[in-house]
Amino acid sequence: MANRIFSLGLVASVAASPTLLKRDNTTMVYSFKDVPITSNIQYIPCYDKFTCTQLEVPLDYDDLSAGTTNIAFIKHSAPQQPAMGDIIYNPGGPGGSSIGDVPLGLPRIVALLGDSYNIVGMDPRGVNNSGPLLDCFGGKPWLRDYFINKFFFDVDPLSEASFSNYYEMTGAFGTWCTQNLNETAKYVNTPATARDMLQYAELLAESQDKPREEAKVNYYGISYGTVLGTTFAALYPDRVGKFLIDGVVDGNDYYFGNWSQGPQQADAAVESFFTLCAEAGEACAFKGNSSTAEEIKERFDGILEDLEKNPIPVTDPHYVVVPTTVTHMDFRNFLTTSLYRPATVFPILATLAAGLEKRDGRSTASVTGKGIPPTGACDYRPLGYDSTFYRQVIACNDNNHNFEITKESLTELFKYERTQSTYIGDVWSMAVIPQCRNLDISSPASQIFPGYKNVKTSTPILFGGNLIDPATSSYELMSSYFEGSRVLLQDAIGHALISTTSNCTASYVQRYFKTGELPPKDTVCETDFKVFSSALVVEDAGLVTRHSTGRRAVDML
Ligand SMILES: *[C@@H]1O[C@H](CO)[C@@H](O)[C@H](O)[C@H]1NC(C)=O
Ligand SMILES: *[C@@H]1O[C@H](CO)[C@@H](O)[C@H](O)[C@H]1NC(C)=O
Ligand SMILES: *[C@@H]1O[C@H](CO)[C@@H](O)[C@H](O)[C@H]1NC(C)=O
Ligand SMILES: *[C@@H]1O[C@H](CO)[C@@H](O)[C@H](O)[C@H]1NC(C)=O
Ligand SMILES: *[C@@H]1O[C@H](CO)[C@@H](O)[C@H](O)[C@H]1NC(C)=O
Ligand SMILES: *[C@@H]1O[C@H](CO)[C@@H](O)[C@H](O)[C@H]1NC(C)=O
C-alpha cells in the first residue's frame, strides 16, 4: 500500500470510459446507470430522499495500468448542514449492499448513530452497483439461481454421499467461475475496498478545500463490515476518524480462511430461545405444556432428530408452488437466521417449531422459500443482486489460498464447527469456504492483507457487541490490536448492537461520534425491547411469493 496518495491527473488519463454520462445534476435519478462516473465527488439527487455519486477509482492503486472501475455511493444528508462529517456505512456480508441497505435501514441506523453526520452507503467493489462485474453465468441470472437452489441448499452434511457430492460440486463451481469470471475479479477484495474508502475521504476533503493528506474516514461497520473497518484501521491508522465496529469478527480467522470462530455463542443463543420461550407463556407458540427451558429444549431437539431421519412433505398450494420436503437443514438454516434478530424472529421460530412438532412443515417451507422455485427464463430479469457470489469472491480473494481445502480438511472443519455449535455448525461450515477450493483467482500483492499488529489509531475506535452474538463475538481480541479502543456491550442476544434498540447504547454511541468521548470501561447497556414481550403470536407465516429468486441465502456475517 505504498501509493497512498493517488494522483487525480492519472485517473483522468484512463477515464475515457464509454459509460461516462453527461447529465444535469438536478434531475432525480432512480438507477446508478444514470449517475455519472466521475473522478471527483459530484452528488446528484437520487431515490427521492438521497443523493448519489459514482467514483472512478483505480482497480489497483499501485498499478494504474490495470485500469479503473466504478464505486457507487448513496448519501443521507444530516438535517443540519454543514454536518459534522460523512460516516461511511457497511452492513456486512461480505457482499452486503450498502446502497440497498441505507434506504431500508435508515431509521435504525440514525437511531443508533444520531443525525449529526451524513450517512454514506458505499457498495464495496464487486457488489451490486459497484464494479467490476462478478458474473459466472454469462448474464443469465436464472441459471445462477437454479444452480444455487439446487446445489447449495439441498445438501445433508450428515450423509456421506451428500457431503461427497457437495464437495465435488463446490469444486466444480470454482472451476466454472474461474473460466467465466472476468480477470478483473482479482481486484475485488477487502484491502482494495478499504483504500476506496480513503479515496472517498480524500476527495471529500478536496471538495471542501481541505488538505487531502489530512482527511480521515468516519465509519460504521457491522459484522463483515468490522473486517473492513479493522482492515482500514490496520492499514491507515493515522486516517481513522470516528469508527464504530459493531458485531466483531475475528479478523485473523477470516483472513486465514476457514471461518471457524464465528458461531462460538450460537448454542448459547439457541438456549436462550428455550429460556425466553419458557418465560413467555402464551406469547411463545412453542411453549405448549412445557414449564421449563429443559422441557422445551428436549422437544426442540426431538424435532431436529426426527427431521434428520424423516423429512416432512409439503403439498399445500397456499404455501408452496411445487411439492417439496422440509429437512433438518432447512430448519437449521432458518434457526441460524433467527439467532441474528431474536427480538423479531424468535416468535416466528416458535411458530415454525410448533408446526414441525406436529409434522406440519407448511410455514417452514414458505418462510424459507422451499417449494418456491426461482423465476424461470421467461421471466427475464437483468442480472441482479446475489450475495452468495459476491461473498465468495471477496472472502476467497481475502483468504488468498491460505486454508488448504481437501476433502479431509473439510471433513475436519465440519467436525470442528459442530463442536462450536451443535445447532448451526453445519450451516456455518457450508457458507463460504468450500466454494473457494477451485476458484483460481489471486489478488495482486499490494491487495493482500499483511495481518493485524498492534497500532495506535489517530482516533480511538469504539467496538460494540451483544453479550450473546451467534456469529461474531471477537470484540476483546480485535480491540486488543488497537491502542486506546474501548468495547461497549449490550445485554442482548442477537447479531450486533443494531439488532435491537437501546437508549443507553445509542446515547454512548452518539456521544462518541459528537465528542470522541468513549463509554466507561466495562459498560453493559440494557435494551429497550424484550423478546416475546408483546403478545405477538405468529399464527400463519404462510405467504407464497411468486416472484422469488428461490430460496434465500442465510445471512452470514
Ligand atoms: C450542480 O452543479 C453545479 C456546477 O457544477 C453546482 O454549482 C451545483 O451546486 C450542483 N447542484 C447540485 C444539486 O449538486
Ligand atoms: C442494489 O442496488 C439497488 C439500487 O441500484 C437497490 O434498489 C437494491 O435494493 C440493491 N440490492 C440489494 C440486495 O440491496
Ligand atoms: C473484463 O472487463 C473489462 C472491463 O469491464 C472489459 O473491458 C473486458 O472486455 C472484460 N473481459 C472479458 C473477457 O469479458
Ligand atoms: C482454523 O483456523 C484457525 C486459525 O484461525 C485454527 O486455529 C484452527 O485450528 C483451524 N481449524 C480447522 C478445523 O482447520
Ligand atoms: C398438552 O396437554 C394436552 C392435555 O394433556 C394434550 O392434549 C396436548 O396435546 C398437549 N400439547 C402439547 C403441545 O404437548
Ligand atoms: C428511549 O428514548 C425515547 C426518546 O427519547 C423515549 O421516548 C423512550 O421512553 C426511551 N425508552 C427507554 C426504555 O428509556
**239-276 confidence digits (pLDDT tens):** 999 999 999 999 999 999 889 999 999 999 999 999 99
| pLDDT for res 434 | 81
DSSP summary character for residue 153? I
Of the CA atoms within 13 Å of residue 255, those in its CB half-sphere come to 16
Position in ligand 5 atom list of the atom nearest CA 289: 1
CA of 25 to the centre of ligand 1 (A): 6
Helix (H) or strand (E) segment spanning residue 37:
strand 37-38
- With residue 468 as reference, give the H or E element that holds it: strand 462-468
Least confident of 413-427, 486-500, 521-535, 542-556: 542-556
What letters, b where the CB count within 10 A reaches 16 and e where it falls short, cover 425-446? bbbbbbbbbbbbbebebebbee
Asked if 52 and 36 touch (Cβ cutoff 8 Å), the reply is no
Question: How far apart (Å, rounded) are the C-alpha atoms in residues 275 and 292?
Answer: 8
The CA angle 474-475-481, to the nearest 5 degrees, is: 100
pLDDT (tens digit, 9 = 90+) per residue, 27-79? 899 999 999 999 999 999 999 999 999 999 999 999 999 999 999 999 999 99
pLDDT in tens, 57-71: 999 999 999 999 999
| Residue 391: predicted pLDDT | 87
Q: Is 151 close to ligand 4, i.e. is its CB under 6 Å away? A: no
Maximal CA-CA distance, the chain? 73
State pLDDT tens for residues 323-339. 999 999 999 999 999 99
Q: Whose CA is nearest to atom 8 of ligand 5?
A: 289
pLDDT at 448 (0 to 100)? 98
Mutate-to-test residue for ligand 3 from 19, 71, 130, 184, highest number of ligand atoms within 8 A of CB? 184
Distance 61 CA to ligand 2 centre (A): 27
190 pocket-lining for ligand 3 (C-beta < 6 Å): no
Q: Among 504, 528, 533, which residue has the most ligand 6 atoms within 8 Å of its CB, making it the best to mutate?
A: 528
- For the chain, state the CA radius of gyration: 23
187-206 mean pLDDT: 98
CA separation, residue 329 to residues 157, 158, 419 (Å): 9, 10, 17
Rounded to the nearest angstrom, the distance between the alpha carbon of 182 and the centre of ligand 3 is 6
Which atom of ligand 4 is nearest the CA belonging to 252?
A: 5
69 lines ligand 3 (CB under 6 A): no
Whose Cα sits closest to atom 3 in ligand 1? 25
Calculate the dihedral angle through the C-alpha atoms of 109, 113, 115, 120, rounding to the nearest 10 degrees. -60
**Of the ligands numbered here, which is closest to the C-alpha atom of 477?**
4
287 pLDDT tier (thresholds 50, 70, 90)? very high
Please give the single-letter amino acid code of residue 455: V
Ligand 5 contact via 358 beta carbon (within 6 Å) = no
Pocket of ligand 5 contains residue 289 by CB under 6 Å: yes
CA distances in angstroms from 271 to 169, 300, 339, 505, listed in the order given = 34, 11, 10, 25
Q: Summarize the confidence of residues 283-311 as an average pLDDT.
A: 97
Dihedral-angle region of residue 288 (phi above 0 means left; psi in -120 to 50 means alpha; beta otherwise): left
Residue 184 Cβ contacting ligand 3 at under 6 Å: yes
The ligand 5 atom at the shortest distance from the C-alpha of residue 357 is 13
Output the pLDDT for position 159. Answer: 94
**Average per-residue pLDDT for the chain:** 88
Work out the percent of the chain whose per-residue pLDDT is above 70: 88
CA 155, CA 162: separation in Å to the nearest integer? 6
* Mean pLDDT value across residues 350-369: 94
Which of 60, 182, 188, when mutated, tests ligand 3's pocket best, judged by the most ligand atoms within 8 Å of its CB?
Answer: 182
DSSP 387: H
The pLDDT confidence band at residue 108, using thresholds 50, 70 and 90, is very high
| Closest ligand to Cα 66 | 3
Q: Which residue from 503, 509, 507 is spatially nearest to 487, judged by alpha carbons?
A: 509
Is pLDDT of 12 > 70?
no
What is the structure's pLDDT at 23? Answer: 55
Residue 416 CA to ligand 4 center (angstroms) comes to 9
CA dihedral 494, 498, 500, 504 (to 10 degrees): 120
**pLDDT at position 390:** 84
- At 351, is the pLDDT very low, low, confident or very high (cuts 50, 70, 90)? very high
- Cα gap 227→247, rounded to integer Å: 10
What is the DSSP code string of 402-438? -S---HHHHHHHHHHHHHH-TTTHHHHHHSSGGGGTT
* CB contact set of 5 (below 8 Å; sequence gap of 6+): 202, 212, 213
Number of Cβ within 10 Å of residue 22's Cβ equals 5
